[in-house]
Structure 1
Amino acid sequence: MVNRTEAADEPLESMPVLALKGVGEAMAEKLATLGIRTLQDVLFHLPFRYQDRTRLSKIGTLTPGTEAVINAEVMISDVVIRQRRSLMVRLNDGTGAIMLRFFHFSQKQVSQFERGARVQCFGEVRRGPGMLEMVHPEYRVLRSDATDESALDNTLTPFYHVTEGVQQATLRKLTDQALALLERRDLRDYLPLALTADTGLPDLTSALRIVHRPPPGSDVNALIEGLHPAHRRLALEELIAHRLGLRLLRVDAQAKQAPIIRPAGQLPGSLRSSLPFRLTYAQDRVLLDILNDMGSGEPMLRLVQGDVGSGKTVVAALAAAQVVECGHQVAMMAPTEILAEQHMINFSAWFEPLGIDVAWLTGKLRAAQRRATIEAVAMGQKQIVVGTHALFQKDVEFLDLGLAIIDEQHRFGVHQRMALRNKGAREDMQPHQLIMTATPIPRTLAMTAYADLEVSVIDELPPGRKPVTTVALDNVRRADVVERVGAAIDEGRQVYWVCTLIEESESLQAEAAEDTQETLQQLLPRHRIALVHGRMKPREKETVMNAFKERQIDLLIATTVIEVGVDVPNASLMIIENAERLGLSQLHQLRGRVGRGSAQSSCVLLYQSPLSNNARERLDIMRETNDGFVIAEKDLSLRGAGEVLGTRQTGLAEFRIAQLGRDDDLLDDVSLMADRLLVSYAESVQGLIRRWIGEEKKDYGGV
């Protein structure tokens, strides 16, 4: 048990909640589920909405749908039994009358509402039969000598996120105590006035007082939306802390060594000359970035982003060739079996004619195959290993891992990526890391979640590629779409039809893939139709996908397993059912499966009416642009960083107060202030990182 006298001497940053009145061991455990363990945590657990109980409203001015405080006299009260038993109390303040309605009440409450009593109430105004009403308002019976204003609150009333056993009243009492302590000794402000003076934002202590107990007249909408200067001050500090954390991780990484990759160029040259196409200028530029990194002796940590079909995989293969020629191993990790299989097919086709063995390692391998592969990798007999999360299992060891390539990196948890990196780490030596994504990173995320990475962009599609034409159609026009599919197949083209479910579900308005296959086979009896979904065995999926690629299948019914990795140049039409249910980035990834050949390609977004405003906006964006970076920015603003890139898994990129879509205008200041702190106020850096990130999360950014 914490001694409250001893705790009183601790700084607020580390003072445990047990030091507060009313908090015992049981309550401390419940608060911990909200992330509240210290006084600082109490202060940074911010309200998500407010009520204004600081001013009186006259009954005659009330409108339905608003919340208000009123003072009025009881005219009559009665227990009424109609459909259900209720206490009805009629009030009047001289400007109008209102009815209070209680369905749950005691005899004591009935006696409180005697004729002539003055009552102050707070609640939502509703339209009732004959007059306005409040249902179960908060109320207090006023003393005869009370003035109208004497019982009003002097700040806006905050509402916090709660959990079982922790009510609003509890959190308000705890924040009252924390704010009282803040009056006597400020929480340390790690941002010097010299840095923040020009921002017009309040200091840390003032900001915390305002967000927890806003004074009367405060802009409630700005407070709720996080646009109030007090919120902005807290968001600024949090963004700076994350920026500093990533900067220090980068400095730490640069202090380590990595294999120096300076090959003669024979193997990469042979691979390049064997390709049936020439690299674009953008691919050559990005490859040069990678070679410069790997030749420096410092661990490369480079993110290569490029739109769907821009040719990231062949750039990764050429980088792998450089590493293999220098005598090191390469691991390439993909998040799904189907994407890993696609990489395995490509790498085998490119490398095996050059005498380089490519190993395959997934969780689906038979035990004997797996043991043999693991042994060959450990002995260095396999120079390139392609696989899924099976690559970082404990029993997988590399003889000399020089490069780890991670595709669609946001689909992995941080621990998984860290585990793969650590496979090649020994003493002060680490493997190079090449991270690839077809989900373009908005500038706001590049400046925060990826601030420790070097970033290269393949911003050019291979020659001959044409933008995909996209239309959105109501499901009532399904017959027209089926007719269009039949016509496309008759012209020698292949078609994807994407469903969002495998089996029928009564709870979701989505056509099941199996039912869709049966229906389309009846409507298009002359054409070859097949089905692929995530519950099929890998060999079954591979057989179907290979048959589709070899043009033995005309129409492929698929779930979103085809989102990444499938390359069928002859497929030039895609139908996406229930498109309103998918996020922008997923729709863009799916659409990227067509348009990979020279033919004009199309994508049809089938949707179920009525559409929400958000869904309509997503479909409009898909129709208007093929630019993945524009789509990524829109997706960030609609869904937030955690949803877009899976950053809730990463620890370091998880924000408590800041929101990237809302606070992106602060990022330039954040970058400048972080630089100045590192140079001139080094003593503040670790404190900021501890406050907003915590010691246990700092290693996450190293992946």
Structure 2
Amino acid sequence: MARPAPVLAAAGDAPLTTLAGVGPAVAEKLAARGLLSLQDLWLHLPRQYEDRTRITPIAMLQPGAAAQVEGVVEAVERGFRYRPMLRVALDDGSRGTLVLRFFHFRSQQVNQFRVGARVRAYGTPRPGQHGLEIVHPSYRVLGAGEDGGLGDALDPVYPAVEGIGPATLRRLVGQALDRLPGEEALELLPRGLLAGTPTLPSLREALLTLHRPPRDADVAALLAGTHPAQRRLALEEMLAHQLSLRRQRIALQSHVAPVLDDDAGLLARLRRALPFALTGAQERVFEEIRADLRKGVPMLRLVQGDVGSGKTVVAAMAALMAIGGGRQAALMAPTELLAEQHLANLRGWLEPLGLRVAWLAGKVSGRARSAVMADAASGAAQLVVGTHALMQEGVVFRDLALAIVDEQHRFGVHQRLALRDKGAAEGIAPHQLVMTATPIPRTLAMAAYADLDVSAIDELPPGRTPVQTVVLGAGRRPDLIERIRAACAEGRQAYWVCTIIDESDEVVAQAAQTTWEQLTAALPGLRVGLVHGRMKAADKQATMLAFKAGELDLLVATTVIEVGVDVPNASLMIIENAERLGLSQLHQLRGRVGRGSQASSCVLLYQPPLSQMARERLDTMRSTGDGFVIAEKDLELRGPGELLGTRQTGLVGFRIADLARDADLLPGVQQIAEALVREAPDAADRVVDRWIGGAARYAGA
């Protein structure tokens, strides 16, 4: 394969101070928006377009559809009702009158609008008191005999840069485009590589089309992000992220990792002791993990599985591979509640095998903390379970061979790296196993986790019953209280989750407190508990344990119970203000019931009226219990940034690509990435530099 021509560094990398009109002050304002070089301006794409290539007769205007008109001033009215106002009536002879309305204006503007003057204006008409009107249009008063001319291309409207006016920004982008290199110098992808993708223009053609779309351009496609020019840029941006992740993977695999095997026969002993048989999916995923651990390169595997699919026992078996080889493992979870749930399960399974499972969290202090740290450092603790406390300075392992992170998307990059580094020394790195109960859509996994091997536990253990989900308006609250009374009379338990979203945790706690008081009064024969995030950890834990032990009938809680609670006897879940939560969180909460063999229900209470997105979310919850289907819908509705969390820097930074919209490009992106890395590594590096620069990638964690 012929290597592409080198990019003209003198062009794309030239600072913006080389443009006319960009002095230190303007350059500083542009830099604050991340615009430093000509290439940055090339990729600063318009957010919308204004069509000034034609004149629309006033009689043909449609409310809400932006248009350009030209007419003669019929009347001018300057008044002050509640605030200063200027109204200018235009007539173009098409049997239509349009009013231009201004609330902010100067005296010289009023003088411009003399009766009989010809005015060309652009804006979005809307119904007014006397027909259609445009509020604060852009306009020009034409001189006698001036035809004004019409543009050959749509006018771009760029994302705002503070302190720089739209016209100035448009002029600077135009200057930058005038210095765009020729096609061969700009193109980094050999044409042969694009053969398997949809017909797309060259990069140069795509940039010019997006900044200066011709008058016959498909505006609807441009605004939807589906124009071939946008897809060409989206493909290269996704390719840059894919290559960056692969670079991380290659760097990780340059390390040596311990070869792990269960030399002590612990796995067979655990299997004999377990009160249940593993599902086929659990067996398949564990075999994938075991194959990784037997290699001399660091494993980096993501295990995703729906709520209750049995990830913890698979993690325990992976830990035994390290422990059986005389080494240590650590498991980190984002909350004490979830970490303690893992601790209880792991101690129940592993301590009968004669193993020491230690516990390290923020609340472990004094002598107890010192003892745990000493056991980790000496190797007496073969498995250490904990929260962020595991990553703190001073926590040392004798020989950490496997780092397990649960609900990995809740941790930032540096936190995951900090745990991995506890076992890294002189080119040796521990294996990493990351888990999530939030199923990740295939498209997101392909793009966001290109440096991980992904396994899915896509089968629930036998005996789990599907949860029936119903959606009710808040007016049905009294009926639900009676339903709780009946369920608890039959010996079952129920959750009532308060989900009011506010900047302050205190507001959510107050809502839960009020609900607890109301339900305690309405259900005098029942034992009602309360859990929220502002309670002391010990009080919260005591209440949870009481509920699990059956000492409480009804638990009123905030979304703190989203993960880490396993109460098989709980068969009814009521989620208040369900319209305020995302699909994945609703699915996680629903997973708290249906964990036993009895029929379970989840009631989603909403406060009308519902937005279109909220209605789609609730309909999805009602129609399916498949976490992977729900994850795909969540990606479609919310986008990748919210699904991964703001700390997952990278996907949030996509400027052009949209993983839900552009998913069909991903297979081609992967093929191009493989070919570039193999046959044109210099071009691969330049693609990454163009789109990402030297930013550290989160996915190496």
Q: Which range, TM-score by smaller chain?
A: over 0.9
CA distance in 1, matches of 2:564, 2:85: 63
Residue 667, structure 1, aligned to residue 666, structure 2: yes
Partners of 1:503 and 1:116 lie apart in 2 by 55
Shift of 1:23: 2.4
Question: Per-residue deviation at 1:367?
Answer: 4.3
Please, which moves more after superposition, 573-582 or 73-82? 73-82
Q: Which residue of 2 aligns with 1:146?
A: 146
Match for residue 5 of structure 2?
Answer: none
- In the other structure, the counterpart of 1:284 is 283
> Would you say the 8 A contact 1:652–1:701 is kept in 2?
no
Q: What is the match of residue 3 of structure 2?
A: none
Quick check: 1:426 aligned with 2:425?
yes
The 5 A counterparts of 1:403-418 are 403-418=402-417
* Cα distance in 1 for residues equivalent to 2:509 and 2:622: 22
Shift of 1:203: 0.5
- The equivalent position to 2:156 in structure 1, one of 149, 155, 158, is 158
Gaps of 5+ in 1: 1-8
Contact 1:309 1:461 in 2 (8 A): yes
What does 1:332-351 correspond to in 2, within 5 Å? 332-351=331-350
Runs of 4+ in structure 1 off by over 4 angstroms are 183-187, 501-511
Q: TM-score, normalised by structure 2?
A: 0.94
Are residues 153 and 511 of structure 1, via their aligned partners in 2, closer, same or farther at CA, if it must alter by over 3 Å? farther
Please tell me the residue identity of whatever aligns with 1:323.
A
> Aligned residue for 2:106?
106
Mapped to 2, the partners of 1:212 and 1:157 lie a distance apart of 8
Pair 543,648 (structure 1): closer, same or farther in 2 beyond 3 Å: closer
Query: Is the contact between residue 330 and residue 401 of structure 1 (CA under 8 Å) also seen in structure 2?
Result: yes
C-alpha contact 1:207 1:234 (8 A) present in aligned 2: yes
Q: Is the 8 A contact 1:287 1:315 kept in 2?
A: yes
Deviations 1:49-106 (A, max 9, x none): 1221221111121232222211212233242344443333222221132222222222
More displaced stretch, 158-167 vs 62-71? 158-167
2:662 aligns to what SS in structure 1?
helix
**Deviation of residue 640 (structure 1)?**
0.6
Give the equivalent residue in structure 2 for 1:356: 355
Instruction: State yes or no: 1:524 paired with 2:523.
Output: yes
The answer (yes or no) to whether the contact 1:498–1:577 under 8 Å persists in 2 is yes
With over 3 angstroms needed to count, the CA separation of the structure-2 counterparts of 1:657 and 1:430, relative to structure 1, is same
The 5 A counterparts of 1:367-406 are 367-406=366-405
Give distance in 1, aligned partners of 2:279 and 2:421. 33
Whether the aligned pair in 2 keeps the contact of 1:500 and 1:511 (CA below 8 Å) is no
2:176 counterpart (160, 178, 187): 178
Partners of 2:595 and 2:86 in 1: CA distance: 70
How many Å separate the matches in 1 of 2:397 and 2:71? Answer: 79
**Structure 1 residue 270 displacement after superposition:** 2.2
- State the AA in 1 paired with 2:186: R
Match of 2:460 in 1: 461
Q: What residue number does 1:555 align with?
A: 554
1:3 — aligned with what? none
Q: Secondary structure at the residue paired with 1:447?
A: helix
For residues 595-645 of structure 1, the C-alpha deviation after alignment (integer angstroms, 9 at most, x for no partner) is 111111111111111111111111111111111110010000000111112
CA distance in 2: counterparts of 1:503 and 1:635, whole angstroms: 21
Matches within 5 A, 1:235-250: 235-250=234-249
Distance 1:49 1:301 in 2: 41
Q: 1:589: Cα distance to partner? A: 0.6
Output aligned runs, 1:216-235, within 5 Å.
216-235=215-234
Tell me if structure 1 keeps the 8 A contact 2:501–2:580: no
**Native 8 Å contact 1:647 1:654 kept in 2:** no
- The separation in 1 between residues aligned to 2:105 and 2:73, in whole angstroms, is 17
Where does residue 132 of structure 1 map in the other structure? 132
For 1:436, the equivalent position in structure 2 comes to: 435
Shift of 1:166: 3.1
2:606 aligned with 1:603? no
Measured in 2, the distance between the counterparts of 1:506 and 1:326 equals 45
Q: Deviations over 1:3-42 (max 9, x none)?
A: xxxxxx9533322222222323333333233222221111
Q: Which amino acid aligns with 1:175?
A: V
Total equivalences in the alignment: 692
What is the CA distance between 1:647 and its match in structure 2? 6.1
The one-letter code sitting in structure 1 at the alignment partner of 2:215 is P
Corresponding residue of 2:545 = 546
Percentage identity across paired residues of the two chains:
57
Contact 2:122 2:139 in 1 (8 A): yes
How has the CA–CA distance of structure 1 residues 15 and 506 changed in structure 2, closer, same or farther, with 3 Å as cutoff?
Answer: closer
- Higher mean displacement: 665-674 or 260-269: 260-269
C-alpha deviation, 1:503, in angstroms: 9.6
Distance in 2 (alpha carbons) for counterparts of 1:70 and 1:652: 41
TM superposition shift of 1:532: 0.8
For 2:159 and 2:268, the matched residues in 1 are separated by 59
3-state SS of the aligned residue for 2:660? Answer: helix
Q: Secondary structure at the match of 1:455?
A: strand
Contact persistence 1:265–1:322 (CA under 8 A): no
Partners of 1:409 and 1:441 lie apart in 2 by: 12
Does residue 624 (structure 1) correspond to residue 627 (structure 2)? The answer is no
Q: Give the corresponding residue for 2:448.
A: 449
Mapped partners of 1:369, 1:278: distance in 2? 36
Structure 1 CA distance for aligned equivalents of residues 676 and 505 of structure 2: 57
* Conserved 8 A contact 2:502-2:508: no
Contact 2:498–2:508, Cα closer than 8 Å, also in 1: no
Tell me how far 1:155 sits from its aligned partner. 2.0
Measured after TM superposition, the shift of residue 563 of structure 1 is 0.6
SS in 2 for 1:536: coil
Instruction: Give the Cα–Cα distance (whole angstroms) in 2 for the partners of residues 344 and 174 of structure 1.
Output: 60
Task: Indicate conservation of the 8 Å contact 1:510/1:578, yes or no.
Answer: no
The CA deviation at 1:283 is: 1.1
Pair 341,546 (structure 1): closer, same or farther in 2 beyond 3 Å: same
How far does residue 368 in structure 1 lie from its aligned partner after superposition? 4.2
Instruction: Report the counterpart of residue 121 of structure 1 in structure 2.
Output: 121
Alpha carbons 2:17, 2:24 under 8 Å: kept: yes
Worse-matched range after superposition: 633-642 or 44-53: 44-53
Cα 1:507–1:571 change in 2 (3 A) is closer
1:306 touches 1:439 (CA, 8 Å); kept in 2? yes
Q: 1:159-213: CA deviations, max 9, x gaps? A: 2222432332232122111111116687621111122256311100111111122
Deviates more, 1:572-581 or 1:86-95: 86-95
Cα distance in structure 2, aligned partners of 1:681 and 1:575:
56
Alpha carbons of structure 1 residues 265 and 462: separation in structure 2 relative to 1, 3 Å? farther
Cα 1:547/1:503, change in 2 over 3 Å? farther
2:164 alignment partner AA: V
- Specify whether residues 367 and 44 from structure 1 end up closer, same or farther in structure 2 by C-alpha distance, changes over 3 A only: farther
Do structure 1's residue 477 and structure 2's residue 470 form an aligned pair?
no
The answer for the alignment partner of 2:97 in structure 1 is 97
